[in-house]
């Protein structure tokens, strides 16, 4: 996510109506409840929530949780991809990117199907079968849906 995009999404969050937030009933939730719901959100959704929180309540517990969960996606557009599509792409990326997927999912999204798929890829595929990072990135971006 570029810095300009992140700023735009924070502004969008600051100006958003509560009903447009990716966490239903946001204002009725306590800090702990919000923190629990943040984990499954995309980086874009976290940025929108951050903008809303800064403009409204400014609770440090929420903002710290968002900061902790904010991370680079394993590749551009990752969060927008369907889990099945991500699993397909795991065959096209080098093992260091598979490790990034595994870390990102464990720390952030916690989608078991992707964690299991990444672990399986790392266990069964010998290092020599992985593509270079440049080849893998080309394969991922080539297949992007319009």
Q: pLDDT digit string (tens) for 57-107?
A: 899 999 999 998 988 899 988 988 999 999 999 998 899 999 999 999 998
Distance of alpha carbon 144 from the chain centroid: 17
23, 49 Cβ separation under 8 angstroms: yes
Q: Report pLDDT digits (tens) over 125-140.
A: 655 454 555 555 555 5
Radius of gyration of the chain (CA): 17
Please tell me the pTM assigned to this model: 0.66
Give the CA distances from residue 130 to residues 57, 90, 123, in Å, rounded to whole numbers and listed in that order.
47, 10, 13
Cα 84 to Cα 67: distance, rounded to the nearest angstrom: 28
Whole-number pLDDT of residue 71: 85
Overall average pLDDT of the 15-31 stretch: 88
Cα 24 to Cα 18: distance, rounded to the nearest angstrom: 8
């Amino acid at each position: 996510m570029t810095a300009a995009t992140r700023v735009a999404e924070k502004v969008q969050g600051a100006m958003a109506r509560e009903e447009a937030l990716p966490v239903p009933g946001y204002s009725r939730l306590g800090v702990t409840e919000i923190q629990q719901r943040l984990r499954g959100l995309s980086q874009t959704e976290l940025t929108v929530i951050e903008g809303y929180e800064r403009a409204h309540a400014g609770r440090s517990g929420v903002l710290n949780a968002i900061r902790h969960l904010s991370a680079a996606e394993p590749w551009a557009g990752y969060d927008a991809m369907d889990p099945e599509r991500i699993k397909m792409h795991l065959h096209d990326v080098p093992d260091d990117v598979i490790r990034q997927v595994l870390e990102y999912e464990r720390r952030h999204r916690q989608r078991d199907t992707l964690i299991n798929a990444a672990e399986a890829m790392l266990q069964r595929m010998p290092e020599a079968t992985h593509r270079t990072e440049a080849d893998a990135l080309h394969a991922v971006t080539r297949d992007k849906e319009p």
